[in-house]
């Protein structure tokens, strides 16, 4: 009786690192590897991953390449943007929001092919290992997880390169030395970390930026655009209805052309260290401002402020990999409820790194010009009513002040 061969679903980009991992799984575990390559809008062709996987001995039936751009934007990016989500006040979570989708598809493929384990290429120092693995375990509690960067004995960057050469894995010339920085990208953003960016006091070289031109190089003339929303999600650009991924692509190009969406951030990783990254989220930066703009006239003030209070907790859950946790789903339900009337049009001006709301309109608007005008309105609000409102809310403050005076007497 022969032992069953270990079958592993690997998140495979087709790049050098995941090709090394693929071969390592074959040599270290004698595993039958199933590769999964997702097109998330990273800007690179994914079909070459098929040829590389076949060259490394993966059976054609075990190669999965899927275009997930629409699902990514519709089911992950847009729900996150309904909350105006930023981590640590600035970061739009472009890497974090992609990991749950990849983890979900790996588990679905594992079930489909009867795999015993899943594998990712995240290092043992970063957040992505946590995000992938929390997703795996949430969806398949008993799945076996293989994390090569925590297991293998390679002690330097040169060691995996030597392994690749030994096993005849093609190595581009620029990979034989250490890369100047590492890049992660999808339709929402690109992030760059490491090497030339490790000194947080040093300005990031211009060549690091992948998705935007420098704001000072952007046109001297502003670009004006209109974005339509329905129930909190963008649905049209300049009057043209577009599916989610295409709309974000268009916004990305507008952001690129106007130098919008750059962020140089030192963040607090979940694993306990600080890390410096250069992020570019051109379309997302425009979308964030536009969404807030349409909310400003359509969402009740109390609901809006509560959502603002919930947002940091929601952002931390996504950053730390808890997309499939019940508390994230609970918060999402509240966030979605707040978006029932977030429908209308926002007009924006894009200029040299800035995305500014200059107009907003909606049939669902709560903005009442008769109430806010300095002229005489409809009579629904009598300015004299403010006196009683102020005295009522000032009562506890007056009581505190009277106690202070009494104690000092």
Residues acting as catalytic residues: 17, 99, 128, 182
Q: What is the DSSP string of 71-103?
A: HHIIIIIHHHHTTT--BTTTB--TTGGGHHHHH
Dihedral sign for Cα 262, 17, 149, 2, please. Answer: positive
Alpha-carbon gap, residue 216 to 259, rounded angstroms: 8
Alpha-carbon gap, residue 212 to 56, rounded angstroms: 36
For residues 282-294, b (16+ Cβ closer than 10 Å) or e, as one string? bbbbbbbbbbbbb
- Yes or no: say if 35 and 22 are a contact pair by the CB < 8 Å rule: yes
Which contiguous run of DSSP H or E holds residue 328?
A: helix 326-338
For residues 354-366, b (16+ Cβ closer than 10 Å) or e, as one string? bbebeebebeebe
Nearest CA to 231 out of 78, 52, 15 is that of 78
CB atoms under 10 Å from CB of 171, counted, come to: 14
Nearest CA to 284 out of 254, 304, 242 is that of 254
CB atoms under 10 Å from CB of 79, counted, come to: 19
């Amino acid at each position: 009786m022969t032992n069953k061969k270990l079958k592993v679903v690997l998140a495979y980009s087709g790049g050098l690192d995941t090709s090394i991992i693929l071969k390592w799984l074959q040599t270290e575990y004698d595993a039958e590897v199933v590769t999964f390559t997702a097109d998330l809008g990273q800007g690179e062709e994914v079909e070459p991953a098929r040829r590389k996987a076949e060259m490394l001995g993966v059976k054609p039936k075990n190669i999965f390449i899927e275009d997930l751009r629409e699902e990514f934007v519709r089911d992950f990016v847009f729900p996150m943007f309904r909350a105006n989500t930023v981590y640590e006040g600035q970061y739009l979570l472009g890497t974090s929001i992609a990991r749950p989708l990849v983890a979900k598809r790996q588990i679905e493929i594992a079930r489909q092919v009867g795999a015993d384990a899943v594998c990712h290429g995240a290092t043992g120092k970063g957040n992505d290992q946590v995000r992938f693995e929390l997703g795996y375990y949430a969806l398949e509690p008993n799945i076996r997880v293989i994390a090569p960067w925590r297991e293998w004995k390679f002690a330097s960057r040169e060691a995996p390169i030597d392994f690749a050469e030994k096993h005849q894995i093609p190595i581009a010339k620029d990979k034989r030395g250490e890369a100047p920085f590492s890049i992660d990208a999808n339709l929402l953003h690109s992030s760059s970390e490491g090497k030339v960016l490790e000194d947080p006091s040093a300005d990031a070289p211009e060549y690091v930026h992948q998705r935007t031109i420098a704001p000072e190089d952007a046109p001297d003339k502003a670009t004006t655009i209109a974005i339509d929303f329905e129930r909190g999600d963008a649905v049209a650009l300049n009057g043209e209805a577009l599916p989610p991924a295409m709309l974000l692509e268009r916004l990305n190009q507008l952001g690129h052309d106007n130098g919008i969406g750059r962020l140089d951030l030192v963040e607090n990783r979940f694993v306990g260290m600080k890390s410096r990254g250069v992020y570019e989220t051109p379309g997302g930066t425009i979308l964030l401002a536009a969404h807030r703009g349409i909310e400003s006239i359509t969402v009740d003030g109390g609901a809006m402020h509560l959502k603002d209070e919930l947002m940091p907790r929601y952002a931390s859950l996504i950053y730390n990999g808890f997309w499939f946790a019940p508390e994230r789903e609970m918060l999402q339900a509240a966030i979605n409820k707040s978006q029932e009337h977030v429908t209308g049009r926002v007009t924006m001006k894009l200029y040299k790194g800035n995305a500014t709301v200059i107009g907003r309109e909606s049939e669902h608007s709560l903005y009442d010009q008769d109430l806010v005008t300095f002229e005489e309105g409809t009579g629904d609000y009598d300015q004299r009513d403010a006196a009683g409102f102020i005295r009522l809310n000032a009562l506890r403050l007056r009581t505190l002040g009277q106690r202070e005076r009494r104690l000092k007497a």
